[in-house]
Amino acid sequence: MTMRLRQLEIALQRLGGFESPRPALEQYPTPAPLAARLLFMAYGRGDLEGRTVLDLGTGTGILACGAALLGAARVTGVEIDPIPLDVARENAARLGVEIEWIEADVGDLPGLFPDRTFDTVVMNPPFGAQVPHADRPFVDAALAYGRVVYGIFNAGTLPFLDAYIGDRGECTDRIAATLSLPRTMRHHTRERVEIAVECVRISRRVA
């Protein structure tokens, strides 16, 4: 039997996170309840169980691990920074799930594995707060590799996302949520910042 939402939240809550997050890479962990929501959105659509899943910017692997717990057939996590990737490996080992970890820049991805495709991409990409358009290589890689994409985006930027995707895909589902970020980033002046986000499902338009 598969996990319920609350069970998944609890399992993900226990995972190790970023020890010293790097602002330039927008390293903020997805809080377990939001990660569980995004994953259940995909699960409910039949996009996780038995599927091949790619997690872009996997960080400490919360989305990759959650996808594996919900019955994905094969999960791959890509991350540029080897430090959180080590935590991701420990997290997977602790949960007893098998995940393929790849240390790479998402921007280099489209050429890297010309023969590979995935059923489903999951991601919580940088919002571009530090480096403008940092989310674009994520969207490009997601649409190059995945049939459907589940991402967490800053709600205010959704019109730009739609425009950037253009005729490559179509946003089919949206769930509004709030992301409460701890003040781990030096440029934040308050203890926590609340950001309106949306979990979005993008279906690739096949040419």
Binding residues for ligand SAH, total number by CB under 6 A: 22
**How many whole angstroms separate alpha carbon 96 and alpha carbon 7?**
16
Binding piece for ligand SAH, criterion CB under 6 A, among 73-81, 162-170, 180-188, 197-205: 73-81
User: What span, in angstroms and rounded, lies between the C-alpha atoms of 148 and 203?
Assistant: 5
| Site for ligand SAH, residues 81 to 100, rule: CB under 6 A | 81, 84
Using DSSP's 3-state secondary structure scheme, residue 96 falls into: coil
Q: What's the CA gap between 23 and 26, in Å, rounded?
A: 5
27 touching ligand SAH, by CB under 6 A: yes
For 28-112, where are the alpha helices, taking DSSP H only? Answer: 32-44, 62-69, 82-95, 109-112
Residue 118 within binding range of ligand SAH, rule CB under 6 A: no
C-alpha distances out from residue 131 to 134, 137, 144, Å: 5, 12, 22
Residue 106 interacts with ligand SAH (CB under 6 A): yes or no: yes
User: Rule CB under 6 A: which of 169-188 touch ligand SAH?
Assistant: none
Distances (CA, A) of 65 to 29, 33, 48, 180: 13, 14, 12, 21
Stretches 40-48, 51-59, 110-118, 169-177: which one binds ligand SAH (CB under 6 A)? 51-59
Residue number, 102 or 171, with CB nearest to ligand SAH = 102
If the CB atoms of residues 25 and 148 are measured against ligand SAH, the closer one turns out to be 25
Task: Note the residues at the interface with ligand SAH (CB under 6 A).
Answer: 25-30, 57-59, 62-63, 78-81, 84, 105-107, 124, 126, 137
